[in-house]
């Protein structure tokens, strides 16, 4: 329980608490206008102070860091099971200094210690993601109006996550908190898988649903295509083809050169034959006659032939020679012609090859093949990497979907099987609400219709007003207190600020206080409630009207009273 709240701030109004019911009254001054709020009276500051002492976050904008307040020590004296401890925090411009029993301690360690002390919350339990946390648990017993703590029974603030509420309440009510915790982990995984699937889908198959088979068949096709292309490229056929063209072209050039050389020789030959033919013609009979005469002079005894015979011989040899030369000439001409024809043919072949080589067709083809192969290989690699992920993602999504449904079912099963806690919860809520409204309210615990997990719904009779909502919170909190005590997970105190009675009829306020008093006595706990003086007045008025005693708060009103006068607030300073 809380024993006292103090501060070294001179104007601070020390709050001393007793066990059982404590009513912190904020007087509404006679002169205050109806519309004037009483935020300045510090009822909220009192709840904020408890949070401030236990918080692990420093909010530089809160009241404790206002210029008038900053640098002050605020202390809370707590006790449980007979042992006392003092938690003090000094606000400062940079880092607040937290001390427990005079020794400096980090907020994290203090919460760890208190988590174990107040909520039996071990490190192992609070360590996992989405496990029960000290901050969430304490926020149920010290609800903050500013965070929307009175908007819903099952939520300690409007910004609380569904899983956090489920895990915390399961923990306090004695259900298996690990199921909603696991559920949230699975939901996260599913969300990741969904996102991934969406990413892949948008990146891959824009048309239509996820079709793994379609991707697989594309990959199969690519495998074959890439293999064929790779073979074509890596096999030397293309390169060899190019080289073969080159060799052939060189060969052709060589042969043409040889042929041209041979032709030049033959042309020379023809020229010389023509010359020789002219020489044959030149061998005229006139010279023959003078030769014959000279033989007659020099070798008169030796002349064996008549001139006519010599002339015939001469003509025969000349003709013979001429025929030979002409034959030679004809052969040469034929060789020239045949070579020219061959050269022409070779030239055509060569120019084809040269055109092919010059155009770089072979290289171009190779380049084309290579780039084609590269493109296909890239797609293949991409698909090969994506497909297993894709397939996994699809399977993961299905599996997670099943697991989520299973967990939700398990949560429902867990609640059903834990008859004790469930029935107690339903009963306590019914009794509490019946005490206030004569009719029992309903607490429905079970699995959600969707995948939310644990569903806790409350309903009580009464007007559809803020008052009814607040009374549901009131009933639910007392249920939490009783359940938490049973599970040894209760800090020993419940704190409500005045908002709990906003819009509530005087009769119900009185009955609520009366119930709280009885519960405190029965359970041996401390309940601190801040109230506006006119809410107390409402009870009196109700009693006067009905003539029946509802509740006399006098003995429970705390010594320290707050008011809306300039220095009447908790801090004694108006800011």
Partner 1 sequence: MLMPTKHIKTENALIGVGAELLALLDMSKTASRLFHDLQEERRRNEITTIHFDWFLLAVDFLFTIGAIRFESGLIKKMNQ
Shortest distance, position 357 Cβ to partner 1, whole Å? 47
Residues 326-365, one symbol each (x = binds partner 1 by CB under 8 A, - = not), give --x-------------------------------------
* 317 in contact with partner 1 (CB under 8 A): yes
Distance CA 417, CA 411 (A): 10
Among 108, 199, 217, 299, binds partner 1 (CB under 8 A): 299
Shortest distance, position 267 Cβ to partner 1, whole Å? 19
Which residues, listed in sequence order, are joined to residue 496 by a DSSP beta bridge? 529
Among 9, 280, 504, 511, binds partner 1 (CB under 8 A): 280
Among 283, 354, 424, 452, binds partner 1 (CB under 8 A): 283
Segment lying near partner 1 (by CB under 8 A), choices 23-31, 117-125, 258-266, 319-327: 319-327
* 282 in contact with partner 1 (CB under 8 A): yes
Report how many helices (DSSP H) and strands (DSSP E) the chain contains, helices first: 15, 12
The tokens describing 320, both together, are 């013979």
Q: In terms of C-beta density within 10 A (0-12 exposed, 13-18 middle, 19 or more buried), how is residue 61 classed?
A: exposed
Strand order in the sheet with 526-532: 493-496, 526-532, 20-27, 562-563
- Is residue 453 within 8 A of residue 408, CB to CB? The reply is yes
**Other Cβ atoms closer than 10 A to 221:** 12
Shortest distance, position 330 Cβ to partner 1, whole Å? 14
Among 108, 191, 305, 398, binds partner 1 (CB under 8 A): 305
Distance CA 142, CA 518 (A): 20
DSSP state of 142: B
Cβ neighbours of residue 406 under 8 Å, at least 6 residues apart?
A: none
Size of the site for partner 1 (CB under 8 A): 31
Segment lying near partner 1 (by CB under 8 A), choices 111-119, 316-324, 511-519, 537-545: 316-324
Comparing C-alpha atoms, which of 89, 65, 48, 20 is closest to residue 497?
A: 48
Shortest distance, position 327 Cβ to partner 1, whole Å? 9
In the complex with partner 1, the residue whose CB is nearer, 304 or 358, is 304
Segment lying near partner 1 (by CB under 8 A), choices 198-206, 272-280, 373-381, 483-491: 272-280
DSSP state of 207: S
* 274 in contact with partner 1 (CB under 8 A): no
Shortest distance, position 282 Cβ to partner 1, whole Å? 4
Reported as type and span, the H/E element at residue 529 is: strand 526-532
Segment lying near partner 1 (by CB under 8 A), choices 310-318, 383-391, 467-475, 515-523: 310-318
The tokens describing 508, both together, are 């119900």
Among 35, 103, 304, 464, binds partner 1 (CB under 8 A): 304
* 316 in contact with partner 1 (CB under 8 A): yes
CA dist 331 → 204, 260, 326, 338, 503 (Å): 78, 16, 8, 10, 135
Quote the Cα angle for 163-164-169, to 5°. Answer: 100
Segment lying near partner 1 (by CB under 8 A), choices 175-183, 288-296, 473-481, 506-514: 288-296
Shortest distance, position 270 Cβ to partner 1, whole Å? 15
Reported as type and span, the H/E element at residue 261 is: helix 237-282
Shortest distance, position 272 Cβ to partner 1, whole Å? 11
- Residue 27 has phi, psi (to 5 degrees) of -75, 135
DSSP state of 201: H
In the complex with partner 1, the residue whose CB is nearer, 316 or 465, is 316
Segment lying near partner 1 (by CB under 8 A), choices 129-137, 159-167, 222-230, 298-306: 298-306
**Other Cβ atoms closer than 10 A to 105:** 16
* 320 in contact with partner 1 (CB under 8 A): yes
Distance CA 326, CA 114 (A): 132
* 300 in contact with partner 1 (CB under 8 A): no
* 313 in contact with partner 1 (CB under 8 A): yes
Which residues here bind partner 1, judged by CB under 8 A? 276, 279-280, 282-284, 287-288, 290-292, 294-295, 298-299, 302-305, 309-310, 313-314, 316-318, 320-321, 324-325, 328
């Amino acid at each position: 329980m809380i024993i006292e709240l103090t501060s070294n701030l001179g104007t601070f109004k020390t709050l001393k608490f007793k066990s059982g019911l404590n009513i912190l009254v904020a007087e509404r001054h006679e002169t205050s206008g109806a519309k004037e709020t009483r935020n300045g009276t510090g009822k909220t500051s009192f709840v904020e102070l408890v949070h401030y002492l236990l918080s692990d976050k420093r909010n530089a904008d809160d009241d404790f860091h206002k210029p008038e307040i900053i640098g002050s020590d605020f202390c809370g004296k707590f006790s449980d099971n007979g042992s006392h401890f003092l938690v003090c925090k000094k606000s400062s411009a940079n880092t607040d200094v937290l001390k427990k029993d005079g020794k400096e301690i980090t907020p994290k360690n203090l919460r760890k210690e208190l988590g174990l002390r107040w909520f039996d919350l071990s490190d192992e339990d609070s360590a996992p993601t989405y496990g029960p946390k000290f901050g969430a648990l304490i926020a149920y017993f010290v609800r903050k109006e500013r965070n929307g703590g009175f908007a819903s029974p099952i939520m300690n603030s409007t910004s609380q996550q569904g899983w956090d509420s489920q895990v915390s309440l399961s923990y306090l009510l004695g259900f298996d908190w690990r199921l909603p915790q696991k559920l949230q982990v699975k939901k996260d995984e599913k969300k990741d898988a969904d996102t991934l699937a969406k990413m892949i889908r948008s990146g891959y198959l824009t048309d239509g649903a996820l079709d793994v088979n379609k991707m697989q068949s594309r990959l199969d096709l690519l495998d074959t295509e890439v293999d064929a292309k790779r073979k074509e490229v890596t096999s030397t056929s293309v390169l060899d083809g190019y080289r073969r063209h080159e060799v052939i072209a060189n060969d052709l050039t060589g042969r043409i050169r040889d042929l041209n050389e041979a032709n030049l020789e033959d042309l020379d030959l023809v020229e010389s034959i023509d010359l020789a033919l002219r020489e044959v013609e030149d061998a005229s009979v006139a010279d023959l006659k003078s030769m014959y005469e000279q033989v007659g002079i020099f070798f008169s005894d030796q002349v064996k032939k008549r001139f006519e015979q010599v002339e015939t011989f001469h003509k025969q040899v000349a003709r013979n020679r001429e025929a030979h030369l002409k034959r030679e000439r004809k052969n040469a001409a034929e060789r020239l012609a045949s070579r020219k024809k061959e050269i022409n043919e070779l030239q055509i072949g060569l120019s084809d090859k040269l055109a092919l080589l010059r155009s770089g067709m072979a290289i171009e083809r190779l380049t084309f093949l290579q780039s084609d192969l590269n493109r296909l290989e890239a797609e293949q690699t991409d698909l090969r990497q994506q497909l297993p992920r894709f397939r996994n993602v699809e399977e993961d999504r299905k599996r997670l979907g099943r697991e989520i449904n299973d967990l939700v079912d398990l949560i429902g099963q867990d609640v059903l099987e834990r008859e004790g806690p469930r029935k107690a919860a339903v009963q306590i809520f019914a009794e509490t609400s019946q005490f206030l409204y004569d009719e029992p309210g309903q607490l429905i615990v079970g699995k959600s219709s969707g995948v939310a997990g644990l569903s806790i719904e409350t309903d009580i009779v009464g007007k559809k007003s803020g008052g009814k909502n607040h009374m549901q919170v009131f009933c639910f909190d007392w249920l939490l207190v009783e359940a938490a005590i049973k599970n040894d997970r209760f800090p020993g105190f419940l704190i409500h600020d005045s908002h709990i009675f906003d819009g509530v009829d005087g009769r119900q306020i009185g009955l609520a206080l009366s119930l709280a008093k009885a519960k405190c006595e029965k359970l041996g706990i401390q309940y601190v409630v801040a109230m506006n003086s006119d809410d107390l007045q409402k009870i009196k008025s109700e009693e006067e009207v009905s003539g029946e005693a509802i509740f006399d708060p006098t003995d429970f009103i705390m010594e320290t009273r707050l008011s809306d006068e300039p220095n009447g607030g908790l801090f004694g300073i108006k800011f």
